[in-house]
Amino acid sequence: MLLALDLGNTNLTGGVFAERRLRLRARVSTQRDRTADEWGLMIAQQLSQRGIQERDLTGAILASVVPPATNAVSEGVREFLGVLPVLVDHRFDTGLEVAYEHPEELGADRIVNAVGALSDMRPPIIIVDFGTATTFDAIDRQGRYLGGAIAPGISVSTDALFQRAALLHRVRLQPPGRAVGRTTEESLQSGIVLGFAGQVDALVRRMQEELGGAEVVATGGLAELIAPHTETVRRIDQDLTLRGLLRLYERRTGGAG
């Protein structure tokens, strides 16, 4: 079995593949000050609760955009689960042609997403990832990764709003019944859900013009909330990143773990 880990600024998303099939997916909050022992114990417990033991794992792979926690997660997995994760960074041979001017500045998750998308979609492709930041990644007709756009994430933006606006309170993030809110709660839900959906459509359409058209896929924690209210996103794939990690592990080792 292969343990695939995607360490983001908000969450650590993990998956276990058995014979190339995703057997489980789990998500825990990222705390940068966790020690290697804390990370290792937590991940081991998460797996044990789902019936997976140390002896079941034959490999691991890790993509991280949180440098202060990368080594701790890697060492924790090695200590508690007996496998040292393969680390995905800008030096990793992904097999993907990257046309970005400074590849070393790219978050590992963006490249992993591109690999995952190309595993079962035909380019050109635009990937919208609703994470701590909302990222837009473009793959051209030749399958080259070109770059994209980075916008403040939904949670980051709304947290800043509620902290700075004394008369506004937190609301449940859910679709509004109408665009013209009749209460403060409805108005916030309209502005957040429909407003971010509009941002997605505006950026995606501009990218599609530059690419000459493109299929669009969304992933990330809030994809199910926002994507249905867009006009450009037709597909949601929450396993995109994990599938990309599986493909990269196979490329490195010649097997699925």
Task: Please name the residues in contact with 165: beta carbons below 8 A apart, sequence gap of 6 or more.
Answer: none
User: Under a CB-based contact definition with an 8 Å cutoff, are residues 113 and 126 in contact?
Assistant: no
Residue 12 bridge partners (DSSP): 7, 28
What are the tokens at 178?
């109408």
The structure tokens 């705390």 sit at: 31
Out of 6, 109, 137, 237, pick the active-site residue.
Answer: 109
Distance in angstroms (rounded) separating the CA atoms of residues 229 and 240: 20
The string over 139-168, giving b where at least 16 C-beta atoms fall within 10 Å of a residue's C-beta and e elsewhere, is bbeeebbbbbbebebbebebeeeeeeeeee
The string over 176-215, giving b where at least 16 C-beta atoms fall within 10 Å of a residue's C-beta and e elsewhere, is beeeebeeebbbbbbebbbbbbebbbebbeebbeebeebb
Residue 89 a catalytic site member: no
Residues taking part in catalysis: 109
